[in-house]
Structures are given as C-alpha cells and as structure tokens.
Amino acid sequence: MHQQTLAPFIWNIADLLLGAFRPSEYGRIILPFTVLRRLECVLEPSRDKVRSQYEAMKASGVDMDLILPTTAGATFYNVSQFSLASVGSTSTRANLEDYIAKFSANARQVFDHFAFDRWLEKLEKANLLYLVAQKFAAVDLHPDKISNHEMGLVFEHLIRKFAESSNDDAGQYFTPRDVVRLATTLVFAPDHQALNGDGVVRTVYDCAAGTGGFLSSAIEQVYEWNPNARLVPYAQELNPETYAISVADKLIQGYDTRNIKLGNTLSDDHLPHEQFDYCLANPPFGVKWENVQKQVQAEHSQQGFAGRFGAGLPRVGDGSLLFLMHLLSKRKPVELGGSRIGIVLSGSPLFNGGAGSGESEIRRWILENDWLEAIIALPTDLFYNTGIGTYIWVLSNHKDALRKGKVQLIDASAMHAPMRKSLGSKRKYLSDEQIAEIAKLHEAFEVRPNSKIFASTDFGYRRITVERPLRLRFSVTPEKLAAYENTKGSDQIEAFASVQGEFDNLSAFLKAASIKRLGKGALKAALACFGERDANAQPVLDDKGNPQADADLREFENVPLNQSIDDYFGREVLPHLPDAWIDAGKTDAKDGQVGIVGYEINFNRYFYVYQPPRPLAEIDADLKAVEAEIAALLGEVTA
C-alpha cells in the first residue's frame, strides 16, 4: 500500500474510537500503535532467532544489548512471545504490556513518552483494545513495502490529522519536504568532499527536530548523492510525542538514539559543547519565550559570549533569533572543517528592532563575523500552519574566498507551483525543477534580477541623534505666575510678577525681571511656565552659551556605515534644517564612535521594482465607464 493511501487507511481505524474517545484523543492512540506496528514489522524477519538466542542466554548474565541487536539486524530488539496478532482477546492489556516491556530500552522509551500504558488502560475499559490491536496487526508496514521516507510522510500526515482534530498547530512539528529539500541542497551542495569522497562521515543537528523529518531527508539526500558518505544525526525536541516518533524513526534507520534528546533547547541544551558539520532547523515562527526567560537571561548575563546568547536577546514575543544563536554556538572551528547552517525563519528576524536593540545586535554579530552567506525569500503559502512569507538563511564560518565579506539575497518568492489540494495553509509547493533553479542561482553567485550581492556592511547604519535649538518666546500672565508658584522656583515669584511685555530671548526676559542667574531647577520651571515655542524666537542658551536642544524637535537619521556622517549630515539634513546639529554624546557602546550602530536586512527594498501609475486618461476612461454602468443599473431600478 502506497503511503498516500496508507495514512488515511490507518487514520480510519480511529472510527472504532468514535463515542468512546474525544476526537482530540485519537492521535494519542493512533500514533503509538503505528510506531509499534512499524517496529514489529522491522523485527519480523529475525523475531524467532532473537527469541531463541535470548532463551539460551538469559541465565548467563550477559548484557543482551551487546548480543541481540546484531541478531535482530537492528539497533533494537524484542524478546516477548507476543505480537499484535497474538496478544489474544483475553488478557489483551497484560499481554500488550509484556510485549512493550520486552523491547530493548532504547525502543521501550518511545512508548514511555507516548504515555502508552495510560491509553491501553482506557482502551481496555472501552472494550476496544483487542479490536484496535487486530486492526493494526493487519497493516503491513515492513520497510520492503514502505520506505523510511514514506513512513516519515505517513507520520506527518497522521500528526496533521491529529492536530486538526484537536485544533492544534501541526506546522510546529514538521517542515514541508519541498522546503526541506531546498534547505538541505543549499547547505550540502558546496561540501564537495562529502559528496564525492569515500567513507566520509559528517554530523548533522536539528535543535527543533519535531518528528525528525528534516534530519531524515538530509540523510536520504546525502546518501542519494554519495552512497559512500554517512550522515550521523543529532537532535533535540520539546514535545514528548513527536520526540518519540523521531526516536523510533532513527532506531529503524539504525542510528544511535542517544543522540536524540528530549527537552527545551533554549533553556536546557542537552548537547552542550557539541559541534557539528551541519545544522538544520525550522524553529516555530514568532513563538514567545517568556516561559524560559529566566534561564535565557541568566545565561546571557552570566556567561556572555562564553554561552550561547552573548550577542543579545530579542524581544520576548519572538524567539527565532535565539535558535539561530544556539545553532551558531554549535559551529566547528574552521581548522576542523567549519560548519554550514540552514534555518527557516519568518520575516521579522530580518528587520525587527532598531539600532542597539537585541535583534539588531544579533544581526550585527552575525554580519560582522561574516557568517551569513545567503538568504532566500520563499513564496507565501508553503507551510501547513501559516501563509506568511518565509526565508531560508544559509550561514557558514568557512565561506568560499569569493563570498568572503559578501551576502547573497535571492528572491524566489515567485517560484512555486500550485498544490492539487490544499493542506491547511499550504497551497503552493516547490517543484524539483524550481529547487534546482534556486540552487543554481545560489551556486552562480551572480547579480541577476532575482539575485543580489552585497557587502556585509551594506546592511549596517549609524543612528545619529539630530538636535535643534529650543526657541521660546517669554511673557508673564496671572495664569503663568500661578503655575510657576507651584514649582520649586516660586521664591522668584515677585521678580517675575513685575515683568511686562513679550521677549524673544531668555536673556532679555531675565533682565526685565532683574534676575542675573537662576538655579537649574528654577530655570527649568521658568522655561516651562513662561516660555512658549516660537520658531522666530532666539535659541535658549545654556551657561556655556550653547543652544539647548528641543526634545520635541529631536529626530534620528540612519547613516549607512559606508558613508561619512559629516558628509551625510551636510547633504541630507543641513539644507533643510540649517540650525540643526548632531548630538556627539550619543556614541556606540562597542566602537565608541558617534552614532549607534544598527543592522537590518530590508529584503523588499532591494528587490522593489517601480511600477509607474497608469495614464490619467486611461483611469478617467475607466471611471466614466463605471459611472455609465451604474447609471444604467439605476435606470433599470427606477424604470
């Protein structure tokens, strides 16, 4: 049975649960039974041989984990006398529990994370356990019939159905395979040694692994390109059920599942100090990280760059850049071959946060270290749970010489094909030809209409503070005197009460009040109470004769890093504001120069194509045609 028909067939077993269970609970039964049947089918050919060897050696005290996997021809085994087909209609639950308990520990943990024993108890109480077991026993999930790739798609289909029935978000658990294929192609293609060498071993890591589909596809692709190369997967996943599927998937593929960890990557890295050749991830878009805020902030403040988050912290509303920094912490030193990273992100990490913000400082850290190789803008409606535009970031700490100091932006937003049938929000997909076309654009590294090349510093700017003088016209009225009397400067009330007329500068006003000098507090009160803004008045001067700045007229200018601040100011500001000046006290915390450094990648600006408006005569003709149509319709109504 093909996977496209197999997944709905398995899900239809859920019809048995109607009435006894809520639809939101179906997946918690269907998924572990599917995993159990898959493991059973994998072990089927060696089942009797493993049982015989176990019976012969169980009294010897030998660690069975050293012997039986070889006999089973897998990284796991089972020594129970039972199978799904033989658990019997009586004592079904006890027999099933015996069956699961006698898996090797690496496989048994899968069912622990599903909390499967609790669901077996509920099925037994509903008198459905034996019937469900028999239905699954009839499903052939042998690897000869259903490949690992197809089985991964089956799991993804089931999770999507499970999510739909419980109003959950299926998209956070897996990435569409077309997006995965593009990301892995962009990350792997430049590694010619791995693709062409003999006996090459590489490590790959996913920090938000979901069901492990990203890793599985990566493994398949490298094997497809070079059967003599081997990719060793590492991962961490937060959700126990999708973690269980990922572990089961890697067990069947023959990998060491001790490299697959359960837990929150941001607050508790279970693979500390590990470094990988490749990193791949599609972290959840725009997810708040306030539940781990305490741990993340502690690592940032206490460890700095010795930890993962030294560059800065993004706003709590979106943790995407935390995952990116986490992946960069896993990079191998260049002398050990370096690392390549592919991560799928929404648009907000490109530009959220102004100069000096956590997001900007993270982008600055990445770009000034020259780790960003390329960003590819993807079409909308590619994902199951959102229709927003998304981007693949490709990073490397061992760029080719041609790419050093450069960043390539590729606009692939128009490259897509329509889905025959929408899957949630996914209405488009990337065909193999389109993936190849995007990969060729990346490989060519040339300026084209949909490929732009920039220096890393082109995305940087200095935010300068532009000040203008405070200009006030002074006068004294009973209302202003009353306001002044309620301030700290009220000891001068009689002096100000004698002032008559209006004054366009502070000096003349104070002279009229026979006041030589006011204290700081009294001066502030006098300016606030007796002064009114007037563009034609003289600037208010401080004790040193310098004009005071008017906070209401304060503006900010972003000066590109590759331009002189003075030249920019003279060209862009002074012609319009001749009395303005730059606040030289606002300097960057890192380089000490005037202006706070910021980085943003405004993708749309670089690929914007001006569309001139239609001629007025053409617009006018259209309006007249519409007016005539409306008039005709009204004529029919009133006739």
If asked whether residues 384 and 500 sit together in one domain, one would say no
Count of beta carbons in the 10 Å neighbourhood of residue 457: 15
Nearest to 446 by CA among 396, 408, 415, 394: 408
Residue 499 within a domain: yes
pLDDT for 171 equals 46
Average pLDDT for 49-67: 91
Using the predicted structure, report yes or no on whether residue 170 has a pLDDT greater than 60. Answer: no
Using the predicted structure, report yes or no on whether residue 194 has a pLDDT greater than 80. Answer: no
Burial class (CB in 10 A: 0-12, 13-18, 19+), 383: buried
If asked whether residues 154 and 267 sit together in one domain, one would say no
Q: How many domains is the chain built from? A: 3
pLDDT for 32 equals 94
If asked whether residues 497 and 522 sit together in one domain, one would say yes
Average pLDDT for 533-548: 92
Torsion sign (Cα): 133, 135, 137, 139: negative
Residue 633 within a domain: no
If asked whether residues 457 and 482 sit together in one domain, one would say no
Using the predicted structure, report yes or no on whether residue 167 has a pLDDT greater than 70. Answer: no
Average pLDDT for 28-32: 92
Least confident of 133-137, 168-172, 343-347: 168-172
Residue 18 within a domain: yes
Q: What is the 3-state secondary structure (H, E, C) of 145-180?
A: CCCHHHHHHHHHHHHHHHHHHCCCCHHHCCCCHHHH
Look up residue 16 and give its two tokens: 């048995």
The answer to whether 30 and 7 have CB atoms below 8 angstroms apart is no
Classify strands 472-475 and 426-429 as parallel, antiparallel or unpaired. unpaired
The answer to whether 258 and 222 have CB atoms below 8 angstroms apart is no
Average pLDDT for 84-93: 93
The single-letter DSSP state of residue 546 is: P
Q: What is the mean pLDDT of the chain?
A: 91
Condensed to tens digits (0 to 9), the pLDDT of residues 217-229 reads 999 999 999 999 9
CA distance 257 to 279: 17
Q: Which of 499, 533, 551 is the C-terminal boundary of a domain?
A: 551
What band does 535 get if pLDDT is binned at 50, 70 and 90?
very high
CA distance 134 to 100: 16
CA distance 388 to 382: 8
Look up residue 303 and give its two tokens: 């460890």
Least confident of 105-109, 308-312, 492-496: 492-496
If asked whether residues 100 and 205 sit together in one domain, one would say no
What band does 430 get if pLDDT is binned at 50, 70 and 90?
very high
pLDDT for 168 equals 54
Look up residue 588 and give its two tokens: 């960057």
The answer to whether 314 and 348 have CB atoms below 8 angstroms apart is no
**Cα separations (Å) of 449 from 441, 452, 606?**
11, 7, 10
**Cα separations (Å) of 41 from 47, 143, 244, 426, 630?**
10, 8, 18, 32, 70
Average pLDDT for 97-110: 95
What band does 599 get if pLDDT is binned at 50, 70 and 90?
very high
If asked whether residues 375 and 416 sit together in one domain, one would say yes
What band does 103 get if pLDDT is binned at 50, 70 and 90?
very high
Using the predicted structure, report yes or no on whether residue 1 has a pLDDT greater than 60. Answer: no
Residue 623 within a domain: no
What band does 166 get if pLDDT is binned at 50, 70 and 90?
low
Least confident of 83-92, 417-426, 464-473, 626-635: 417-426
Average pLDDT for 389-399: 96
Q: Which of 429, 462, 495 is the C-terminal boundary of a domain?
A: 462
pLDDT for 261 equals 96
Rg over alpha carbons for the chain, rounded to the nearest Å, is 34
If asked whether residues 396 and 379 sit together in one domain, one would say yes
Condensed to tens digits (0 to 9), the pLDDT of residues 330-351 reads 999 999 999 999 999 999 999 9
CA distance 507 to 518: 11
If asked whether residues 197 and 292 sit together in one domain, one would say yes
Average pLDDT for 407-435: 92
Using the predicted structure, report yes or no on whether residue 4 has a pLDDT greater than 80. Answer: no
Average pLDDT for 441-451: 96
Count of beta carbons in the 10 Å neighbourhood of residue 228: 12
Residue 576 within a domain: no
CA distance 343 to 327: 9
Give the CATH number, domain containing residue 223: 3.40.50.150
Domain range for 93 is 3-165
- 407-423: b or e for each residue (b if 16 or more CB lie within 10 Å)? bbbbbbbebbeeeeeee
pLDDT for 376 equals 98
Using the predicted structure, report yes or no on whether residue 570 has a pLDDT greater than 50. Answer: yes
Q: Which of 133, 165, 197 is the C-terminal boundary of a domain?
A: 165
Least confident of 22-26, 444-448, 464-468: 22-26
What are the counts of helices (DSSP H) followed by strands (DSSP E) for the chain? 25, 18
Q: Which residue has the higher pLDDT, 387 or 508?
A: 508
If asked whether residues 191 and 177 sit together in one domain, one would say yes
Count of beta carbons in the 10 Å neighbourhood of residue 504: 14
pTM of full prediction above 0.85: yes
Using the predicted structure, report yes or no on whether residue 297 has a pLDDT greater than 80. Answer: yes
What is the secondary structure of 557-585 as a DSSP string? EEEETTS-HHHHHHHHTTTT-TT-EE-TT
Count of beta carbons in the 10 Å neighbourhood of residue 502: 14
Residue 627 within a domain: no
If asked whether residues 238 and 324 sit together in one domain, one would say yes
CA distance 203 to 332: 11
The answer to whether 301 and 288 have CB atoms below 8 angstroms apart is no
Share of the chain above pLDDT 70, in %: 97
pLDDT for 491 equals 67
Amino acid identity, position 120: L
Average pLDDT for 602-617: 86
Q: What is the largest CA-CA distance in the chain?
A: 114
Could you tell me which residues come within 8 angstroms of residue 217 by beta carbon, excluding any fewer than 6 positions away?
149, 152, 177, 180, 181, 184
CA distance 154 to 1: 12
Residue 333 within a domain: yes
If asked whether residues 265 and 388 sit together in one domain, one would say yes
Average pLDDT for 502-526: 89
CA distance 430 to 377: 13
Condensed to tens digits (0 to 9), the pLDDT of residues 43-55 reads 999 999 999 999 9
Nearest to 346 by CA among 408, 409, 283, 435: 283
Residue 78 within a domain: yes
If asked whether residues 409 and 537 sit together in one domain, one would say no
Look up residue 32 and give its two tokens: 């572990």
CA distance 148 to 213: 10
The single-letter DSSP state of residue 547 is: B
186: left (phi over 0), alpha (psi -120 to 50) or beta: alpha
